[in-house]
């Protein structure tokens, strides 16, 4: 947000003591009364509003991959237990990010990491955010292509599985048209405030998808179930489901601004907000994962909606909702990635603020065009969403485990030995998940 703001909004940019600020060693209680009085006067987001925003940030296209993740984990029991285990660290990471944001007085995930953990870790965090948002945008284009294919089949009544010979129904053409005429115009603007109404619609859409999957499991229609495994084939197979879970629950990058927008910026209400939000997400993801997996078994597709027949009306509406969700989410992810790339570029060039602001529009349009073009080209040649999620899901583990865990190793918690040990444990688990899943994903792609 600071990168794309006007000149008068640049406060403290380029300061040499960003990693050694005096309030970093102070307790949040020093300024808590002043902060709370300011928040009450200026207004802000209520706790229930914050819950809705956090749920909105977490729910998305990753929902479609959860039945396949349960299949990889080896069944319902393994999938649910894995989610419950990871939920402890997900909630802990969100709470510690809010605490460190309050202490460091920073409003974005990357700046909190930069201030608390140092400049080098901050740069690594910015690079990770840029790569993660870039990969997620690729996954969004793949989802658009998958759903539009089935919607076109439903409209054309091609229920026999034959491929239509019309050029305008080709998958690559439909993705290209959606990218150029819908997503690109939504991604170029400097601000994305207009997306708030569409985001609410996308959340309702994901809930509708979950309801459809559950109903189709209870009352199956034109579905041929496959073998339903009850145990994993190996211990590493369980960890192969972690990228999808991390990708689904990863909302940490977006939650730091949410915490700073709350009417009462305190750790206790923030802890309640993130706990309730993650419980809601847990029910949504578990309902979709369990029912979708039990409906199709080992034959479930990486995108669960692709397993249903194209002529099912309820599923067709779910596909339309997912397309809306993805189309409205792409500009938001691109906005975050563009801001990080812009910040890295400015630090690398060392340009003056006034010069950068004058050239901001030209850089923004160029960055948007390049970003959309590259993600579109890659999406046209990547076969399914599972391959993308297996890569960026491992990177999501860095935002959930590694970077929050590094905060426990900073000067804020040196005297709290239990939290330091917990931080070492989080960093170790995050590094293990990232290394194992990323290596396995690359190996599978090479073998394929």
Q: How far apart are CA 149 and CA 152, in angstroms?
A: 5
Residue 336 lies in a domain: yes
Residue 401 lies in a domain: no
Residue 445 lies in a domain: no
pTM (2 d.p.): 0.81
Angle among Cα 330, 332, 333 to the nearest 5 degrees reads 65
Cβ count near 365 (within 10 Å): 11
Residue 212 lies in a domain: yes
Alpha-helical (H) ranges within 32-118 are 32-42, 47-58, 66-73, 76-104, 109-117
Chain centre to alpha carbon of residue 279 = 17
Which tokens go with 418?
């239990």
Residue 27 lies in a domain: no
- pLDDT for 314: 92
Predicted confidence band of residue 189 (pLDDT cuts 50, 70, 90): confident
pLDDT digits (tens, 9 = 90+) for 78-118: 899 999 999 999 999 999 999 999 988 888 898 899 888 88
pLDDT digits (tens, 9 = 90+) for 438-448: 888 787 776 66
Contact 394, 433 (CB under 8 A): yes
Report the percentage of the chain scoring pLDDT > 90.
33
- Rounded to the nearest 10 degrees, the angle between the axes of helix 171-178 and helix 119-156 is 120
- Residue 164 Ramachandran class (φ > 0 left, ψ -120 to 50 alpha, else beta): beta
Q: How far apart are CA 312 and CA 332, in angstroms?
A: 31
Which range among 24-38, 166-180, 195-209, 296-310 has the greatest average pLDDT?
296-310
pLDDT digits (tens, 9 = 90+) for 236-275: 677 778 888 999 999 998 888 889 888 888 999 999 999 9
Return the CATH number at 358. 1.20.1740.10
Mean pLDDT of the chain: 80
Contact 125, 276 (CB under 8 A): no
Residue 198 lies in a domain: yes
pLDDT digits (tens, 9 = 90+) for 323-356: 988 888 888 888 888 888 888 887 777 765 445 5
Name the residue range of residue 50's domain. 46-385
Contact 132, 282 (CB under 8 A): no
Answer yes or no: is pLDDT of 196 > 80: no
Residue 285 lies in a domain: yes
- pLDDT for 12: 38
Q: How far apart are CA 232 and CA 230, in angstroms?
A: 7
Residue 24 lies in a domain: no
Number of domains in the chain: 1
């Amino acid at each position: 947000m600071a990168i794309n703001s006007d000149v008068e909004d640049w406060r403290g940019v380029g300061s040499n003591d960003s990693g050694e600020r005096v309030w970093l060693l102070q307790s949040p209680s020093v300024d808590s009364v002043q902060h709370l009085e300011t928040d009450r006067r200026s207004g802000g987001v209520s706790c229930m509003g914050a819950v809705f925003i956090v749920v909105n940030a977490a729910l998305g296209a990753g929902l479609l991959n959860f039945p396949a993740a349960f299949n990889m984990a080896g069944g319902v029991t393994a999938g649910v237990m894995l989610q419950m285990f990871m939920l402890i660290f997900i909630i802990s990471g969100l709470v510690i990010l809010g605490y460190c944001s309050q202490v460091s007085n920073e409003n974005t995930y990357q700046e909190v990491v930069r201030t608390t953990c140092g400049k080098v870790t901050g740069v690594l965090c910015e690079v990770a955010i840029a790569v993660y948002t870039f990969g997620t945008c690729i996954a969004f284009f793949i989802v658009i292509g998958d759903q539009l294919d089935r919607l076109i089949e439903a409209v054309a009544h091609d229920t026999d599985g034959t491929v239509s010979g019309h050029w305008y129904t080709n998958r690559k053409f439909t993705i290209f048209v959606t990218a150029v005429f819908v997503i690109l115009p939504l991604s170029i603007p400097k601000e994305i405030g207009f997306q708030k109404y569409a985001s609410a619609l996308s959340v309702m859409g994901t809930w509708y998808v979950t309801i459809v999957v559950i109903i189709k499991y209870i009352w199956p229609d034109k579905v041929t179930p496959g073998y339903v495994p009850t145990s994993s084939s190996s211990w590493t197979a369980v960890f192969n489901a972690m990228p999808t879970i991390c990708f689904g629950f990863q909302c940490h990058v977006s939650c730091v601004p949410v915490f700073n927008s709350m009417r009462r910026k305190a750790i206790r209400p923030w802890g309640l907000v993130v706990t309730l939000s993650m419980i809601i997400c847990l029910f949504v993801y578990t309902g979709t994962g369990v029912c979708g997996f039990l409906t199709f078994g080992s034959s479930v597709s990486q995108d669960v909606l692709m397993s249903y027949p194209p002529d099912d009306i309820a599923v067709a509406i779910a596909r339309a909702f997912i397309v809306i969700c993805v189309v409205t989410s792409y500009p938001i992810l691109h906005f975050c990635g563009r801001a990080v790339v812009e910040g890295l570029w400015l630090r690398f060039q060392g340009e003056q603020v006034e010069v950068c602001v004058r050239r901001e529009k030209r850089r923004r349009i160029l960055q948007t065009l390049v970003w959309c073009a590259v993600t579109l080209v890659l999406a046209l040649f990547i076969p399914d969403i599972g391959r993308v999620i297996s890569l960026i899901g491992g990177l999501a583990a860095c935002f959930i485990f590694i970077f929050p865990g590094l905060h426990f190793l900073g000067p804020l918690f040196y005297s709290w030995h239990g939290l330091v040990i917990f931080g070492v444990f989080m960093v170790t688990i995050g590094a293990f998940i990232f290394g194992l899943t990323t290596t396995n994903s690359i190996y599978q792609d090479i073998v394929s």
